[in-house]
A and B are shown apart, each in its own frame.
Chain A
Amino acid sequence: DTEVTQTPKHLVMGMTNKKSLKCEQHMGHRAMYWYKQKAKKPPELMFVYSYEKLSINESVPSRFSPECPNSSLLNLHLHALQPEDSALYLCASSQVRGQGRGEAFFGQGTRLTVV
């Protein structure tokens, strides 16, 4: 199974809502990532988890709150977002450096619209 599954595929939320994005993989990868991608732009790294611990936070606003409950799951909790946060949110996983080839496997993304 080389899939990374993201839910939901589409999400529309108001600026006062609280919602969560979910990501799941069963490849035994111990590194998981959240990326944000605006239209016609490259993905931008938000967070990296390694062995279920947050190892990189790319100065992301606190209205985005990541969580890694176990080695297969990664969540991104959203609260009080702004319209400019509308984007494609991509989850990815990989083996930890030194333990594998290094390529990342991406989910299909959640298309988020903040109204």
Chain B
Amino acid sequence: SQQGEEDPQALSIQEGENATMNCSYKTSINNLQWYRQNSGRGLVHLILIRSNEREKHSGRLRVTLDTSKKSSSLLITASRAADTASYFCATDPFSGANSKLTFGKGITLSVRP
């Protein structure tokens, strides 16, 4: 079952602009992760934020986490055409001994040159 819900579902921006994507989830989490998927290919891990963290940066990526609102946002600054892809948030719940990533529906980002 899906836990994360990203919004918007599709985003089209001009190269150089910033892209902000949001994710909401329903249950308690151990961590929240963002992945990118180019058309028809495997997923690439972008960034992980733990439940006790509020903000993380990695290069042009900035992710925030608000556990009280059960939401996260991913900001991509100075976007490039190569950032065109689908982006998924994935949550890792506390339950169980194993990591069990559950993916949201995804956001399709188009960056126009």
A residues with a Cβ closer than 8 A to B are 4, 6, 31, 33, 41-45, 48, 50, 55-56, 88, 90, 92, 94, 96-97, 101-109, 111
The residue that A45 contacts in the complex, of B33, B35, B41, B101, with Cβ under 8 A, is: B101
Contact B45 A105 (CB under 8 A): yes
Interface size grouping (class) on chain B: 20 to 34
Interchain CA distance A31-B98 in the complex, whole Å: 8
- In this complex, the member of B43, B102, B106 whose beta carbon has the largest number of chain A beta carbons within 10 angstroms is B43
Taking the closest CB of chain A, its distance from the CB of B94, in whole angstroms, is 10
Q: Which residues of A contact B98 (CB under 8 A)?
A: 31, 48, 50, 55-56, 96-97
Quick check: is B11 within 8 A (CB to CB) of the other chain?
no
B19-49 contact mask (Cβ, 8 Å, vs A): 1 or 0: 0000000000011010100001111110010
The residue that A104 contacts in the complex, of B41, B96, B101, with Cβ under 8 A, is: B101
Q: Which residues of B contact A4 (CB under 8 A)?
A: 42
Known: A105-B45, A107-B42. A45 touches B31 (CB 8 A): no
